Chains A and B, each alone.
Chain A
Amino acid sequence: MVEALISDEAFIKGCAAIGAGLAVGLAGIGAGAGESGIGAAAVGAIAEDRGFLGLGLLFTVIPETIVIFGLVISFILMFAYG
């Protein structure tokens, strides 16, 4: 009954949208988890030595790329099926 109401096309579109959301969201959680540890350590190091600021910042933002990967995947999904 329900199957009859939703066309195949709409179903695929919906799944793609959910997938795109999951790609960004999960990647965000992952990056956040990764950054939390590095960030704490970096702040500790900077407290010891101000000169570490640049390098600390660099290390902290490294996992952020993961979110961008997620975002690119979601774009591709939306371009392909959205």
Chain B
Amino acid sequence: MLKPEKMVKISVVGPREQLEYASEILYKVNLLHIEDPKEAEYFRIGEPLEKASLISRSLVQLRSYISYLKIDPSRIVPKRKYKSKEIEEVLSKKLEEYQEQIGRKIEEKRSIDERIRGLEEELRVIVPLKVLGIPSRLLMGYKNLRCFVGFVKENPVGELSKITNLFDAVVKEYDKELLVAIFVKAEYGDDFFRTLQAFGYRELHVPDVDDYDARIREIVREKEELLNRKKQLEKEIEEIKVKEAELLLTIEEYLSTELDKSELPLKALFSKYTFVIVGYVPAKQLDKFKNEVERNGKIVVEVIEDEEDNPPTKLSNPAVVRDYELLTTTYATPKYKEIDPTPIMAIFFTIFFGMMLGDMGYGLLILVLALYLKTIFKTEGWQKLLNIALYCGISSIIFGFIYGEFFGPFIIPGMKKPSEIHFLGDILAALYSFNHHHPLFDRVEEFGVKALLFIVLVIGMFKMLWGFALGFYNVYVEHGMKEAVYEKGCWFIGVLGLVMLILGFSYNLGIFTSPPEEGFGRLLPENLYVLGSYTVEDGRAVPLPIPGLVDGWQAGVNIFYLLALPLLIIWFVIFLKAEIPKMGIFGIIMAVELLTWFGQIISYARLLAIGLSSVYIAFVINYLSVKIGTPPGMALLPVAIILLLIGHAGNLLLGILDPGLQSLRLHYVEFFTKFFEGGGKEYSPFGRVKKFLED
């Protein structure tokens, strides 16, 4: 946890003729992440094994069938696993069979489509000619006449007669255009053509058909026959799809593995007699790997101690946390030496989501929905996402119990009766009888809002500092102590100063000393004041003691403010030492960045805000439906129920989307930016997880 799995750089060396064996065994152990080779004086990148071209040709063909048949591998659960031997035996026979059955049929279907297109094209010519009513033999084959047959936008006869009167024209209306047949002496042909073009002339290619009606009937009949044949072919293809889908995918998997194996030389370096493959294996599995690969005694595995290595990242997290890797890697894949923030995210993402949504009813619905969808969407990504939804649902239920919300609150400040606020108000109030008919924590009333605002700001400050601490560690590991202090330590101290300022301000407001409504009770002594003669009788101290701005500012200086001062001074000094050499004197301006961190702490207030908005939406829906549905209101129960259903469905949608996004954002923007750079290579070992084949 928190660190990607440790990797060892190794080399696999053996004689050239052993490469095929090596590819088999490396593929089988499925552990070696191969590094892209760099050619050197005596070492050259190899060429694929001979069989590669044949395999890839078959594979391309097979994949084209699979994509044509629209077979989705993620939807097919294999009934049984095939042995590689089995596939090897039937491979050539099956490939031929598929060529025969699927390939031919696809080919025939394609030619039918082509023919149908041709027929339709012909129909588009013959139907207008029939309207024109002139047999085709009269429309062509003249020596001294030019004949124009086609469509125009307007009647061109007037314009044409300006050239000569020696022509004959037939004009018919057809589908919002004009259909013309014009016969003119050949010598005027070119002039006529130009004029006709000005009228948007489109020529019809007259086919050699005597009887238009007979031809049309023929075309319609032929088209019908072709369509029937096509339908039959589709049915046959569908039958093959149902019968052969599993085997098709199995053969595809087999060929893919064979292709991977035979392309291994592209990732290896060859000298005259030997090959070398360089890569990484997880340190834990080095022994197993070595044993397997060296078994035949001709191949050697050596560990390489390399200063400039760049290992791939293999995240190693326990089962529940692994689901959240989806969210981390959406941001970036951690570098090998970086901290993997997934476990932290797993905890806080879920808590934040619950804190924002915080409703037993919605949480329960999310839980049920996630469980249901898990049975439908079987791909790995979906399963992970739905698992996250599941945990978030549980978290929402827990927080909902604390907030006392079930499809909305049953207590609203200023309104007395739960039954007026919530359709289950009385039941809920009875449920909380152990706590004086009151939720454990009421986030709707004034004290609740205040308290939650303070709590989320504390969470914000805590996570901000945590982020910088992790950042400090990351930079320390990669660049050493000095850089770490300059880059992250400096801001850690600065933010700590800010935190002290915020706490000092809160202390002066009485949050740690006054009883509820004003604060959390007596958490701290009342006399943590350093300067001046502050006593309780003086009333509250000045919240922000700035000399000169407020009279008697000394009274407000408490111990937190006193701590903040040296921290901010230390921060500023380190900041200047880090920034001035890089940016010159104007680097000072960069100090305003401290305000950004202040802003980001305030940004955690969304944990309160998003939740409150959804609470009030739910309240409005409940209140309206209670008023509409029951006397002394309108007593229209069906309307009330519809309103309730639609309203809560909408609110639930918002309630999934917004807390999810905001919780994600609080990690991506406010947390990850402090320490997480990303840009690591994902660990992808040579070999693959087999779905349809077994060893």
**Are B668 and A54 closer than 8 Å at their CB atoms?**
yes
Residue B215 lies at the interface, judged by CB distance under 8 Å to chain A:
no
**Are A79 and B332 closer than 8 Å at their CB atoms?**
no
Q: Which of A1-9, A12-20, A55-63 forms part of the interface with chain B? A: A55-63
0 or 1 for each of B600-634: is its CB under 8 Å from A? (1 = yes): 10110110010000000000000000000000000
**Are B669 and A62 closer than 8 Å at their CB atoms?**
yes
**Are B606 and A58 closer than 8 Å at their CB atoms?**
no
Q: Which of B222-230, B432-440, B446-454 forms part of the interface with chain A? A: B446-454
Question: Smallest CB–CB gap between B520 and chain A, Å?
Answer: 15
Residue B348 lies at the interface, judged by CB distance under 8 Å to chain A:
no
Contacts of A72 in B (CB 8 A): 453, 602, 605
Give B543-573 interface residues, CB cut-off 8 Å to A.
Answer: none
0 or 1 for each of A32-68: is its CB under 8 Å from B? (1 = yes): 0000000000000000000001110110011011001
Instruction: State A34–B153 Cα separation when bound (angstroms).
Output: 51
Also in contact, A71 and B605, with CB within 8 A (given A54-B331, A54-B668, A61-B665) = yes
Instruction: State A81–B330 Cα separation when bound (angstroms).
Output: 44
Most chain B beta-carbon neighbours within 10 Å: one of A58, A62, A79: A58
Also in contact, A57 and B605, with CB within 8 A (given A65-B600, A79-B446) = no
Residue B532 lies at the interface, judged by CB distance under 8 Å to chain A:
no
Question: Smallest CB–CB gap between B211 and chain A, Å?
Answer: 55
Instruction: State A57–B332 Cα separation when bound (angstroms).
Output: 12
**Are A57 and B668 closer than 8 Å at their CB atoms?**
yes
Contacts of B665 in A (CB 8 A): 57-58, 61, 64
User: Chain A: which residue is nearest B673 at the CB level?
Assistant: A58
Also in contact, A58 and B603, with CB within 8 A (given A75-B449, A79-B450) = no
Contacts of A75 in B (CB 8 A): 449, 453
Question: Smallest CB–CB gap between A10 and chain B, Å?
Answer: 17
Question: Smallest CB–CB gap between B599 and chain A, Å?
Answer: 6
**Are B661 and A61 closer than 8 Å at their CB atoms?**
yes
**Are B450 and A68 closer than 8 Å at their CB atoms?**
no
Instruction: State A68–B331 Cα separation when bound (angstroms).
Output: 23
Question: Smallest CB–CB gap between B324 and chain A, Å?
Answer: 13
**Are A65 and B603 closer than 8 Å at their CB atoms?**
yes
Instruction: State A69–B453 Cα separation when bound (angstroms).
Output: 12
Contacts of A71 in B (CB 8 A): 605, 609
**Are A58 and B453 closer than 8 Å at their CB atoms?**
no
**Are A68 and B606 closer than 8 Å at their CB atoms?**
yes
- Name the contact of A69 in the complex, choosing from B331, B450, B599, B668 (C-beta under 8 A): B599
**Are B330 and A68 closer than 8 Å at their CB atoms?**
no
Residue B664 lies at the interface, judged by CB distance under 8 Å to chain A:
yes
0 or 1 for each of B458-481: is its CB under 8 Å from A? (1 = yes): 000000000000000000000000
Contacts of B662 in A (CB 8 A): 61, 64
**Are A55 and B450 closer than 8 Å at their CB atoms?**
no
Question: Smallest CB–CB gap between B349 and chain A, Å?
Answer: 14
Contacts of A58 in B (CB 8 A): 331, 665, 668-669
Contacts of B605 in A (CB 8 A): 68, 71-72
Instruction: State A80–B602 Cα separation when bound (angstroms).
Output: 18
Question: Smallest CB–CB gap between A28 and chain B, Å?
Answer: 12
Also in contact, A68 and B668, with CB within 8 A (given A54-B331, A54-B332) = no
Instruction: State A54–B331 Cα separation when bound (angstroms).
Output: 4
Question: Smallest CB–CB gap between B605 and chain A, Å?
Answer: 5
Instruction: State A35–B199 Cα separation when bound (angstroms).
Output: 52
Question: Smallest CB–CB gap between A40 and chain B, Å?
Answer: 18
Contacts of A61 in B (CB 8 A): 661-662, 665, 669
Instruction: State A65–B666 Cα separation when bound (angstroms).
Output: 10
Contacts of A68 in B (CB 8 A): 602-603, 605-606, 609
Also in contact, A53 and B450, with CB within 8 A (given A58-B669, A68-B603, A69-B602) = no
0 or 1 for each of B416-457: is its CB under 8 Å from A? (1 = yes): 000000000000000000000000000000100110010000
Question: Smallest CB–CB gap between A17 and chain B, Å?
Answer: 14
User: Chain A: which residue is nearest B329 at the CB level?
Assistant: A54
- Name the contact of A53 in the complex, choosing from B330, B449, B453 (C-beta under 8 A): B330
Contacts of B449 in A (CB 8 A): 75
Instruction: State A55–B669 Cα separation when bound (angstroms).
Output: 9
Instruction: State A57–B664 Cα separation when bound (angstroms).
Output: 9
Give B647-664 interface residues, CB cut-off 8 Å to A.
Answer: 661-662, 664
Additional pairs, 6, CB under 8 Å, beyond known A54-B668, A64-B606, A75-B449? A54-B332, A61-B661, A62-B669, A64-B662, A65-B599, A71-B609
28 examples of A-B residue contacts, CB within 8 angstroms: A53-B330, A54-B330, A55-B331, A55-B332, A57-B330, A57-B664, A58-B331, A58-B665, A58-B669, A61-B661, A61-B662, A61-B669, A64-B606, A64-B662, A64-B665, A65-B599, A68-B602, A68-B603, A68-B605, A68-B606, A69-B599, A69-B602, A71-B605, A72-B453, A72-B605, A75-B449, A75-B453, A79-B446
Give the top 3 A-B pairs by smallest Cβ distance, nearest first: A54-B331, A54-B330, A58-B668
> Which B positions have Cβ atoms within 8 angstroms of A?
330-332, 446, 449-450, 453, 599-600, 602-603, 605-606, 609, 661-662, 664-665, 668-669
